[in-house]
Structure 1
Amino acid sequence: MSHSFGTPSGSGAPSGASPSRRDSRSARSAGRTARDARPRFGFGLVGPRRDRHSVPVDLLDALALPVGDDGVVIGVDAESRPAVLGINRPVPYDVTLIGGLWTAQVLALRAAATGARVAVETGRAQAWTPLAQAAGGGQPCVSLHDVGRVPPQGASAGSPVVVVRDCGMRPPRGRVVSAPWQSVVTLLPYLSPVAPRLLEKSSLVGVQRVSPDEAAQIGRIMSLPRHEYEALSTLADGVTLWCTPGDRQFVMTQATDAETGLLGGARRMD
């Protein structure tokens, strides 16, 4: 008995087509259907075919997404726009903050929230312990270390590290230095003798309220215009002048409810 793969009667096949030609076309069609139904290695089944989507050139701007800079939102600028610090970088990055513990801790919390591991080198562990216990929802993302005892952190693109050095007025040279995906934030409560060296080597400098004499010195070191360095002695709690070699911006750090509950209100003095 022979098996026929021909088109059934009434299927709409051309009346002039011979049985052999109809059988050949049906066989090829069945072969294509069988091949299409087989999973393609690495690609899966062939999906449905649709017309390509197209947009007129004059409407392309409507597809733009409001994506800002990548980093830690440290506060808002004078126009109430988010101010972002790009802490996690593929190159060594040093930050010096002349300011209060409160701002440094907010920065550490928010860096941890972006997925960075935070290692705190400090001589006042009692001031950091509540933060370390509360951060990460139970995950050990903030670790505390005695001064000079920070071990290698093994930073990588998938596991960036922020080292916060809270070592007083004269921080010793650290064993762990900035490296790709490992930034170092040094907190100075005031302008100390080691400050000029730190400011000159830093990629980013933050300055909170200081005395008029300190403001004038910082102005000379950072080449600030007079109206900016004179403002440093009048800044409110939570306001920081962040400086890079090519940009300067006053930023107000506003704590979330959770941060206020953990750290209290913004303050310059500790």
Structure 2
Amino acid sequence: MGFGLIGPRRERHALSLDQLESLALPVGDDGVMIGVDANSRPAVLGVNRPAPYDVTLIGGLWTAQILALRAAATGARVAVETGRTQVWAALAQAAGGGQPCITLHDVGRVPPQGASAGSPVVIVRDCGMRPPRGRVVSAPWQSVVTLLPYLSPVAPRLMRKSDLVGVQRVSPDEGEQIGRIMGLPQGEAAALTTLADGVTLWCTERDRQFVMTQPTDAETGLLGGARRMD
């Protein structure tokens, strides 16, 4: 019989296999917080992936640097391939509190990074309008982000082979061409010519989302306010 009062008798907490699905939690993708969508909900870009992942960003240096800084904050090692190291030097020095989490390399001189699940890598290619074919390409746990300031002659090829394309404010002719390449509705293609600084249309073959990147105070102090032009 035991001692003490008899507690309330309840039914056992048990579920059938068919009922387990109702307990699923709406967990979104993890990755880099790139801003907020039109409904002020967080927009997250998962750049650390177990499969090769290529991103093309037709936009400004500021957005590429925000992406690099936030990728480093998630624990990724960032390698920047650039012909203008002077515009990346302050960012590389400030990131990581003295640890070399963002490294700078001349164009065509990025060494093998040895990416792994425990040490993912993001390579940012800031190589101008006609970036040469890179020696280091996307691989498992190693994503490549190619920055193009405008819609260059090589842009259509890069966009078609990319897993994700980001577009900031462009000219009407560029917006029309990007709309054809990405299969955008006419209204969204036209909107590309009027986007505010810091707004990017991120799109794949099936999905599209306008995102506003809002810098933190620390990011503003390091990189300044959002801007499309360098």
Pairwise same-fold verdict (TM > 0.5): yes
Which sections of structure 2, spanning at least 5 residues, go unmatched?
1-11
Partner of 1:82: 42
CA distance in 2, matches of 1:96, 1:210: 15
Partner of 1:190: 150
Find the residue that maps to 1:265 and give its secondary structure. coil
What TM-score results when the alignment is normalised by the length of structure 1? Answer: 0.77
CA distance in 2, matches of 1:63, 1:214: 47
Q: Which structure's residues are more often helix, by fraction?
A: 1
CA distance in 2, matches of 1:183, 1:240: 19
Query: Which one of the candidate residues 90, 103, 106 is aligned to 1:143?
Result: 103
Partner of 2:61: 101
Higher RCO structure, 1 or 2 (CA under 8 Å, sep 6+): 2
Measured after TM superposition, the shift of residue 133 of structure 1 is 0.5
For these two proteins, the number of residue pairs brought into alignment is 217
Partner of 2:131: 171
Measured after TM superposition, the shift of residue 66 of structure 1 is 6.0
For each residue in 1:108-141, what CA deviation from the matched residue of structure 2 results, as whole angstroms up to 9, or x when unmatched?
Answer: 0010011000000001101000000011122110
CA distance in 1, matches of 2:158, 2:207: 18
User: Which structure has the bigger radius of gyration?
Assistant: 1
Which sections of structure 1, spanning at least 5 residues, go unmatched?
1-53
Amino acid aligned to 1:129? A
Measured after TM superposition, the shift of residue 207 of structure 1 is 0.1
Q: Aligned pair 1:120/2:95, yes or no? A: no
For each residue in 1:27-72, what CA deviation from the matched residue of structure 2 results, as whole angstroms up to 9, or x when unmatched?
Answer: xxxxxxxxxxxxxxxxxxxxxxxxxxx6465xx8997766432111
Is the contact between residue 50 and residue 141 of structure 2 (CA under 8 Å) also seen in structure 1?
Answer: yes
Identify if the C-alpha distance between structure 1 residues 231 and 157 changes in structure 2 by more than 3 Å, giving closer, same or farther: same
CA distance in 2, matches of 1:161, 1:245: 25
CA distance in 1, matches of 2:110, 2:209: 32
Percent identity between matched residues is: 85
Amino acid aligned to 1:85? L
For each residue in 1:233-265, what CA deviation from the matched residue of structure 2 results, as whole angstroms up to 9, or x when unmatched?
Answer: 000000000001221000000001110010000
Partner of 2:120: 160
Find the residue that maps to 2:192 and give its secondary structure. helix
Partner of 2:229: 269
Partner of 1:233: 193
Aligned 1:10-21 pairs, distance under 5 A: none
Find the residue that maps to 2:86 and give its secondary structure. helix
What TM-score results when the alignment is normalised by the length of structure 2? Answer: 0.90
Amino acid aligned to 2:44? V
